[in-house]
Amino acid sequence: MRYFNCLTFIKFKYIITFIKFKYIINGDNLDKVILAFSGGLDTTVCAKLLEEKYNLGVITVCVDVGQPKEEIEKAKNVAEEIGVLKHYKIDAKEEFANDFLSKGIKANAVYEGYPLSTALARPLIAMKIIETAEKEGAVAIAHGCTGKGNDQFRFESIIRSMSDFKIIAPVRELNLTRTEEQDYARSHNIPLSPDSKFSIDENIWGRSIEGDVIEDPKNEVPQEAYEWVKSYTEANSSPEKVNIKFEGGVPIAINNEKMALIDLIAKTNEIAGNNGIGKIDIIEDRMVGLKSREVYEVPGATLLINAHRGLEELIFTKNELRFIDFISPLYSDLVYNALWQEPLREDLDKSIDYMQRRVTGNIVLNLYKGYISILSRESKFSLHDIKQISFEDKENDQREVEGMIKHHGIQATIYQKQKH
């Protein structure tokens, strides 16, 4: 009986040990970290570093804001191949369009000459990461940003202001170069898919391109870097008219076809891109103080913001237009500089939303070989009065303006006479 009990005890102990071992292997007993994941070199290396050097169980999250479908699938496949605890794919495209890009359109959000795209997406991605971290009971959130770019600010400012999660940035904390990351990946049998020689960030609003020969401003951007916008030689050979309808500052129809904002953006990306519109090559001032050569493809954004601004000219008073010209760069700076959570951004949104109630109407634009021109615009809120402006008008007596002219610039007149 004692012999039986002894064997039973040994067997039981073995089972418990095996369960514990399996528990450890599965990572269930490890503290969890949520990693913003793209499946590229940086985030793939980070996943292994978080396991090896930080002793954490890794859960990867890919937030879909309009990346190519193959990139979304790549992230899932790489996550499975390297054996993370769990992988989430979160579809946030419509939320991105309706809650973020609509604000960017209404604010004419352009930073140093290009419509903001990546900067508008990062707050939403960070919010989705926080939601997943709360759901999974994670102790930290990680990202693969380097210490030289803007995204580290954009992710961390949201995470710090909207949660109490610890933040881990392995590439920055370990001061890794890209070559060191590649060497680490090879030594740990991490799969490395043949990435583009350019560093690409893409969402439904825009595509940013940097790296390789583009880094040096003396080099021309190779045509192979572009995907959305045709070259002038390949663009449509004849002009194309586009009719865009706005309601409350947001585009709701194109060429008389009403559609959801996300679909309308896709349509304008195609139309403008085919007409060679939306290539932007600038020297950009990054948040860390560095100047960087940046290349963007923003065809739909360029078209829609031009259309929106053109309609505002018809509807707003002179002072309102000056006010918009003042707050649009301020709004764009806040978004670019990772201050989405700044109360002033919320205040500006309230003011912009109030003004945009009247930005309703139609505008027709002509697109040709990279150029946009306005052909016509109309709105029930138009401040343009054809009767008063017409040279054929006799109801407004032209002679009445004489008194106004006599007093116009009267102080300057007195000053000039004093000089003589």
Q: What is the DSSP string of 9-52?
A: HHHHHHHHHHHHHHHHHHTTTSPEEEEE--SSHHHHHHHHHHHH
Q: Is 91 helix (H, G, I), strand (E, B) or coil?
A: strand
**Set 64, 151, 208, 377: catalytic member:** 151
For residue 98, the tally of other CB atoms under 10 A from its CB is 14
Q: Which residue reads 């954490």 in tokens?
A: 56
State yes or no: is 357 an active-site residue: no
Q: Which candidate in 38, 42, 64, 207 is catalytic?
A: 42
Distance in Å from the first CA to the final CA of the chain: 127
Catalytic residue selected from 38, 102, 117, 199:
199
- Edge-to-edge order in the sheet of strand 250-254: 257-258, 250-254, 240-247, 361-368, 371-378
353 is catalytic: no
Strand stretches in 169-299, DSSP E: 199-203, 206-210, 240-247, 250-254, 257-258, 279-285, 291-297
Round to whole Å and give the CA distance between 12 and 142.
Answer: 39
Edge to edge, the sheet with strand 279-285 lists 199-203, 206-210, 291-297, 279-285
| Of the candidates 154, 126, 139, the residue with the CA atom closest to the CA atom of residue 54 | 139
Residue 42 annotated in active site: yes
| Three-state DSSP class for residue 324 | helix
Compute the distance between CA of residue 117 and CA of residue 203 in angstroms, rounded to an integer. Answer: 7
The reply to whether 163 belongs to the active site is: no
Residue 97 CA to residue 65 CA, distance in Å, equals 9
What is the sign of the dihedral through the CA atoms of 309, 298, 95 and 284? Answer: negative
Query: Which of the following is catalytic: 122, 207, 345, 377?
Result: 122
Question: Strand (E) positions, 204-315?
Answer: 206-210, 240-247, 250-254, 257-258, 279-285, 291-297
Contact assessment for residue 142 and residue 170, using Cβ atoms and an 8 Å cutoff:
yes
Active site residue ranges = 42, 122, 151, 199
